[in-house]
Structure 1
Amino acid sequence: MSDAIAKPGVRVLDRGVEFSVYSENATGMELCLFDVDGRETAHLPMSHERGNLFRLLVDAAKPGQRYGYRAFGRWDPMNGHWFDSAKLLVDPYARQIDSPYSFDPQLAEYGFDTAALVPKSVVVADVGDEPSHVDLPAGGFIYEAGVKSLTRLNRHIPEHIRGTVAALGHPALIQHLQKIGADAIELMPVTAWIDERHLHQLGLTNAWGYNPVTFMAPDPRLCPGGIGELRSVVEALHDAGIAVILDLVFNHTGESDQFGGSLSFRGLDNSTYYRLANDDASVFINDTGCGNTVACDHPMVRQYIVDSLRFFVTQAGVDGFRFDLAPILGRTRAGFDTHAETLKAILTDPVLKDRTMIAEPWDIGPGGYQLGQFPPPFLEWNDRARDDLRRFWRGDDYMTGRLADALSGSSHIFSVGEQHVTRSVNFIAAHDGFPLHDVTAYVHKHNGPNGENNRDGHEENYSWNNGVEGETDNRVVLERRRQDIRALLATLFASRGAIMLKAGDEGGITQYGNNNAYCQDNETTWIDWDAMDEALIAYTGELSALRRQFSVFSETTFFTEDDVSWLRPDGSVMTVEDWEAPGCDCLSIVFSTVERESGDPTRLAVLMNRGQSETVFRLPERDDHGWHSLTGESRGTVEIALAPRSVSFYAEKLSTGG
């Protein structure tokens, strides 16, 4: 057999299909073939070859063939070995599975044959032509969405594709993304996942998908057409100029802890694929909080991760990736390493090096908070900016300086070494936590429906309720909340660096105070399009257009003194005393920028008033063309009366001489 393909996975050849799977500690491996009805048609021993690979060429096999593996070896969990040949195992390199993963206690029962419980891997051939590609622009606008939650209740999408990847390519959805000016859509996991075992007893199901078993195969519930369906949607979005980013989970799998089932990695070679305690191989390291931790520093796991990313790029044209609990990718036995081989392999791979990479820069392990420590050009979710923007608008003391830093791209975090650009992804809300509406409507989390007696989810949300906890028909309270949402949106869109908006926040959608809605696959997380605030959607589009109009927002270098002035409402420069004042409610920011379409040098002013009364701002005067309003929250052109709890934008074209 040729050594040219010394790697796991399947190869479709003219004469048949070559199957290959990796295991360091298995003593034998069996390939099991199935028909479309799930009946086993053959079980074939595989040859054990160099590099800990088990291989077999099956003549006359072709795409569409169902298969799985059975691994033989020691059943010795106390020493990290979980081999049980009664367990049918999904190929880690499976590009398609024939049914969703489903939890069953018998998946964890030694000696119980699980062929009837486990999805079958499906042979899928490569797509020949190279897919298109769209870059996320610097300072781009990312729209984070779950496939089902975004499309399930959209009446403009045909019912038979609502809730699936195919719905993302429908004109109604694409037109909405264009209306709000999104540069990219970031999809929460579309790869196949399994429900956490405690959810079955509660009658709940996983709504987010952050519990994968294998890393390539799309989930049949979300993507019944497999990688071809994803590719078609990516092409439709590309035609509209919208990039596609996939949220992927390489940090843990749904096999969970010692009480979880054997579905793939555990049965193939538990001690290779998972990180186990140094002094007790029966203990799974749990730096993820999900029961296990993938050993991302193992060379074969590293190759598997890179191959998974390459698969989505070459077969579907995906433009970038967001990595859940990304410090796991950089963990070694010694802890997190900025220069870890796996991070390096991702950034230097020739297929991946032009794609957007985004890190969620924390996990729960030792030294797990690594904001600002990922190697460039990784972008990073910036939760400090999120919290500071919320706290400023909540009215917390001593927040003006922190607000300014967040608006400037958080240079104190990202100016590491010789780096002169921000890699911040600024956001106010994401799938994990309160949506934007609930930030202004709930002081406390209300996670009772999750079945954990409200113990789950973050305790501190830096939120407020405008006088009434939760939903209300009080018009005064509703108007205050609407004004606060507009102010929060404007602040986000005025920040330097990439920005991210959670789907539904542009329309003021609520989760009824649930800040950990991972198990609410229902109206709690499904976006009610009929309830979306159309005026708020239009305002989001206006903010996005402003962001595109002026270069100051897309540039990612850190500000110099010539780029920006920080002013008091009376137009004078902020002093140290002003910055350190506990209750500073107002701030005027004047940027030197360029209007993109005309190329004209321009001054752009962003005025912020978090107070409870109208405040008069004075803009600096020059003998140029004068200031003009870009939004409608204020009155005047030099002396400007700014409404309470609002943000306003002004521009002044500068003379170019001659």
Structure 2
Amino acid sequence: MERTLLPGKPYPLGATSSPQGTNFALYSENATAVKVCFFDESGKQVDCIALKERTAFVWHGMVRHIKPGQRYGFRVDGPWEPEKGLRFNASKLLVDPYAKALAGEVDWKAPIFPYDIESGDDTKKCGKDSADGVPKSIVIDSTFDWGNDCPPQTPIADSIIYEMHVRGFSKNNPEVPENLRGTYAGLAHDASIGYLKKLGITAVELLPVHHFIDEGDLIDKGLRDYWGYNTLGYFAPMSRYSSSGDDGEQVLEFKQMVKRLHQEGIEVILDVVYNHTCEGNEKGPMLSMKGVDNTTYYRTLQDNPRYYMDYTGTGNTLNAYNPQVLKLIMDSLRYWVSEMHVDGFRFDLASTLARELHDVNKLGAFFDTIHQDPTLADVKLIAEPWDVGDGGYQVGNFPVLWGEWNGKYRDTVRRFWKGDSGQLSEFAYRLTGSSDLYQGDGRTPAASINFITAHDGFTLCDLVSYNEKHNEANGDNNQDGANDNDSWNMGAEGPTDDANINNLRERQTRNFLATLMLSQGVPMLAGGDEFSRSQRGNNNCYCQDNELTWYDWKLDDSRKRLLEFTAKLIALRKEHPNLHRRRFFQDRQIRGSVVRDVAWYGTDGNELSDETWGEGWNRSLAVMLNGKTLGVMDEDGHQVFDDSFLIIVNAADQGVEYMLPEPPNGVPWKQVLDTENIDDPFSEAEVAEKVIVGGRAVRVYSDCGEHVGQAEKHRPAKTL
């Protein structure tokens, strides 16, 4: 069929289908020619048309008779001057940076490198056609019946975030049909959603689902990328997670998943990687933006543009300082909110996006643009507040409206329960919302995304089972992954038959989970930690798409106990606004003050002195949270009240006797949680004036004592 080319429009960028055909638009400042090439399902090129129109650096044209489902790619010509950062090579097929779906895998044996790979000289141009080794972009039909889809919009302060992997979560679940396991449809299945609801999750945070590729060296080792931090397309859902494959139906399946989760009150947060792409440095492949316009899309060295700035440890850094690249990022974010209905984003290595000339700038263009965008006004924005460059560690320094992965929370809580000395004061700040990090700039405790484990590092089970990493399966001689994990194996490396060690590990796991759910801020639970998922000591499973990372749903008695414990903890937290306050305690520092809404006590029942805070040997304390001082109103203008809580933590090996302080409201304390009690940790009990809190245990008392399920007596806090 003859392809008729019309002028078309420069916007929107990418491929836009209509009854007349498909409009193609590609931004390239330095190109001299652009062609759009079409392929059949076998990968054979069937046509190639030059785009004649160029408007404000956008090459565009409307091609008649091109319908949804058509596979395509770009060929971009221009100067080959690597010393200036210009690496145009029309023999290389390029993925559309705005492609909404992709088909096919990268073939590393194909000539996908723009230079002579045999000599290794990146300044020597390679003229071989790469089309057979490059994924093809797909024209999609964007129509979808969202019906009455209504995002839950759970206030961030009330959120329980569950970090999970789409594939790993359901891949081994026998309750999910085999053909749906490990897919978007598998996550949307009744068995998956029923589990998340029973656990009490309000939001799933999905490891990257933007289309990514496997590195060639992993394929050579018989491995492949599992985490997904190797992005090729910022608009395309990963086809590997689609039960229908890579025929373009992955877009529909993703939308169906989001719609189904929303129907059950669960939000969808995406882990996004706008700091770098899969194209690597000057020795990397040419798959998309490197060939479209290298110096526009990537940050190159000012004094030698042949080479790349690398704030990410991956070889390149996306040039978010460039207005067009910032537009691409914003267009991508808006697309996932407007067209795919996601509810928020966790930004990988977010400090990189805030770098302008070099330094991280929280008043920079990236933040200004996001804060002014009405499409993003109601979505959750979470930063991983660091990168690998100088000055990249920015915990506590992101602007208002942003939450942060609180790395200091993770490190402090691990060290405290491991028994490290001198952690008491730091632990107190983390338990009460990290006011030292977030209080002074208009933010609330919800700015602190609290986590103890995440995809990167040990699982919670491994944190209490291994002193050292065991990453041999990754094929790098155990040289990869972090060496300092603040872990403790309790006396045996890995699994053991020692009952005492296993009991202690189980108790320590409950201590970590209790700390996470009783802390002010927003808890993020790493998927599988609620039933003691293990990766056998591997703390860098980025390349383990197998049984090592897939959730094991065969639960023995101890794992079932932990799952039940976690669900009850989450329910306890959700029922009590006193455990997830919207404001910091009195807007004052913890130490050295007598406050009416929070107080810290020693074993004698008296408030801790400055001297006691400084005692490095001390590994135990009590904190009282007064439920009558929340300082918020409900929708009817009434003050919100809640139970008061007394939380005692003891990281020492031996039990500690406590004289309980007087309840703040004159109602006797009742015990509502004891992590030392393996059989029934939530059993309620009357208490005497003195109690003995066991070694390595958490004890919680309430001035009401009524158990989970009595939420109706608490007036819900107003959404602020």
Same fold (TM over 0.5): yes
1:541 aligned partner: 567
1:132 aligned partner: 150
Map 1:455-466 onto structure 2 (within 5 A): 455-466=479-490
SS at match of 1:121: strand
1:145 aligned partner: 164
SS at match of 2:374: coil
Q: Is the counterpart of residue 256 in structure 1 residue 280 in structure 2? A: yes
1:190 aligned partner: 209
Task: Give the structure-1-normalised TM-score.
Answer: 0.96
SS at match of 1:428: coil
Which amino acid counterpart does residue 158 of structure 1 have in structure 2? P
User: In 2, are the aligned partners of 1:32 and 1:44 still within 8 Å (CA)?
Assistant: yes
Which amino acid counterpart does residue 218 of structure 1 have in structure 2? P
User: In 1, are the aligned partners of 2:577 and 2:642 still within 8 Å (CA)?
Assistant: no
2:681 aligned partner: none
1:218 aligned partner: 237
Q: How far, CA to CA, are the matches of 2:7 and 2:87 in structure 1?
A: 31
* Change beyond 3 A, Cα 1:17–1:309: same
Instruction: Give % identity.
Output: 38
User: In 2, are the aligned partners of 1:432 and 1:515 still within 8 Å (CA)?
Assistant: yes
2:104 aligned partner: 99
2:187 aligns with one of 140, 165, 168: 168
Q: How far, CA to CA, are the matches of 2:661 and 2:383 in structure 1?
A: 40
1:114 aligned partner: 130
Question: Which 4+ runs in 1 deviate beyond 6 A?
Answer: 1-4, 595-598
2:224 aligned partner: 205
Q: Is the counterpart of residue 46 in structure 1 residue 51 in structure 2? A: yes
The alpha carbon displacement at 1:334 in A equals 3.4
SS at match of 1:365: coil
SS at match of 1:335: coil
SS at match of 2:329: helix
* Change beyond 3 A, Cα 1:416–1:297: farther
Q: How far, CA to CA, are the matches of 2:441 and 2:171 in structure 1?
A: 46
Q: How far, CA to CA, are the matches of 2:478 and 2:199 in structure 1?
A: 35
SS at match of 1:57: strand
The aligned length equals: 655
* Change beyond 3 A, Cα 1:259–1:242: same
2:718 aligned partner: none
* Change beyond 3 A, Cα 1:267–1:63: same
2:656 aligned partner: 615
2:517 aligned partner: 493
Q: How far, CA to CA, are the matches of 2:110 and 2:362 in structure 1?
A: 39
User: In 2, are the aligned partners of 1:100 and 1:220 still within 8 Å (CA)?
Assistant: no
Q: Which deviations, in whole Å up to 9, do the C-alpha atoms of 1:458-507 show, x marking residues without a partner?
A: 11101101000112122211111000000011011111111101101001
User: In 2, are the aligned partners of 1:624 and 1:653 still within 8 Å (CA)?
Assistant: no
Q: Is the counterpart of residue 318 in structure 1 residue 342 in structure 2? A: yes
Which amino acid counterpart does residue 299 of structure 1 have in structure 2? P
Q: Which deviations, in whole Å up to 9, do the C-alpha atoms of 1:627-648 show, x marking residues without a partner?
A: 2222244765243332221112
User: In 1, are the aligned partners of 2:422 and 2:615 still within 8 Å (CA)?
Assistant: yes
Q: How far, CA to CA, are the matches of 1:342 and 1:631 in structure 2?
A: 45
SS at match of 1:519: coil
1:294 aligned partner: 318
Q: Which deviations, in whole Å up to 9, do the C-alpha atoms of 1:249-272 show, x marking residues without a partner?
A: 111111111121110001111111
* Change beyond 3 A, Cα 1:320–1:361: same
Q: How far, CA to CA, are the matches of 1:575 and 1:473 in structure 2?
A: 44
Q: How far, CA to CA, are the matches of 2:554 and 2:656 in structure 1?
A: 36
For structure 2, which runs of at least 5 residues remain unmatched after alignment?
Answer: 1-5, 116-125, 587-594, 678-684, 706-712, 714-720
Q: Is the counterpart of residue 59 in structure 1 residue 75 in structure 2? A: no
The alpha carbon displacement at 1:126 in A equals 2.8
2:466 aligned partner: 442
The alpha carbon displacement at 1:202 in A equals 2.0
Q: How far, CA to CA, are the matches of 1:299 and 1:599 in structure 2?
A: 46
The alpha carbon displacement at 1:563 in A equals 1.8
User: In 1, are the aligned partners of 2:267 and 2:343 still within 8 Å (CA)?
Assistant: yes
Q: Is the counterpart of residue 473 in structure 1 residue 501 in structure 2? A: no
Which amino acid counterpart does residue 211 of structure 1 have in structure 2? N
Which amino acid counterpart does residue 183 of structure 2 have in structure 1? T
Map 1:223-622 onto structure 2 (within 5 A): 223=242, 224=245, 225-419=249-443, 421-531=445-555, 533-560=559-586, 561-593=595-627, 600-622=641-663
* Change beyond 3 A, Cα 1:2–1:626: farther
SS at match of 2:391: coil
The alpha carbon displacement at 1:380 in A equals 0.4
Q: How far, CA to CA, are the matches of 1:317 and 1:652 in structure 2?
A: 42
Q: Which deviations, in whole Å up to 9, do the C-alpha atoms of 1:138-169 show, x marking residues without a partner?
A: 33210001111111111111110111111111
The alpha carbon displacement at 1:229 in A equals 0.9
Q: How far, CA to CA, are the matches of 1:100 and 1:179 in structure 2?
A: 37
The alpha carbon displacement at 1:511 in A equals 1.1
Which amino acid counterpart does residue 606 of structure 2 have in structure 1? S
User: In 2, are the aligned partners of 1:7 and 1:53 still within 8 Å (CA)?
Assistant: no
The alpha carbon displacement at 1:556 in A equals 3.3
The alpha carbon displacement at 1:577 in A equals 1.4
1:624 aligns with one of 660, 666, 678: 666
1:18 aligned partner: 23
SS at match of 1:272: helix
User: In 1, are the aligned partners of 2:383 and 2:404 still within 8 Å (CA)?
Assistant: yes
User: In 2, are the aligned partners of 1:372 and 1:416 still within 8 Å (CA)?
Assistant: no
* Change beyond 3 A, Cα 1:294–1:453: same
The alpha carbon displacement at 1:369 in A equals 0.9
User: In 1, are the aligned partners of 2:10 and 2:59 still within 8 Å (CA)?
Assistant: no
* Change beyond 3 A, Cα 1:146–1:418: closer
2:708 aligned partner: none
Q: How far, CA to CA, are the matches of 2:53 and 2:304 in structure 1?
A: 29
Q: How far, CA to CA, are the matches of 2:456 and 2:444 in structure 1?
A: 30
SS at match of 1:316: coil
Which amino acid counterpart does residue 691 of structure 2 have in structure 1? I
User: In 2, are the aligned partners of 1:248 and 1:322 still within 8 Å (CA)?
Assistant: yes
The alpha carbon displacement at 1:5 in A equals 5.2
User: In 1, are the aligned partners of 2:600 and 2:624 still within 8 Å (CA)?
Assistant: yes
Q: How far, CA to CA, are the matches of 1:505 and 1:557 in structure 2?
A: 29
SS at match of 1:602: coil
Q: How far, CA to CA, are the matches of 1:293 and 1:177 in structure 2?
A: 36
User: In 2, are the aligned partners of 1:415 and 1:422 still within 8 Å (CA)?
Assistant: no
Q: How far, CA to CA, are the matches of 1:463 and 1:556 in structure 2?
A: 32
Q: How far, CA to CA, are the matches of 1:522 and 1:624 in structure 2?
A: 56
SS at match of 1:345: helix
Q: How far, CA to CA, are the matches of 1:592 and 1:556 in structure 2?
A: 14
The alpha carbon displacement at 1:293 in A equals 0.4
SS at match of 1:453: coil
The alpha carbon displacement at 1:127 in A equals 3.0
2:589 aligned partner: none
Q: How far, CA to CA, are the matches of 2:55 and 2:365 in structure 1?
A: 23
1:646 aligned partner: 697
Q: Which deviations, in whole Å up to 9, do the C-alpha atoms of 1:266-302 show, x marking residues without a partner?
A: 1111111000001001111111001110001111111
For structure 1, which runs of at least 5 residues remain unmatched after alignment?
Answer: none
User: In 2, are the aligned partners of 1:100 and 1:219 still within 8 Å (CA)?
Assistant: no
* Change beyond 3 A, Cα 1:563–1:2: farther
SS at match of 1:630: strand
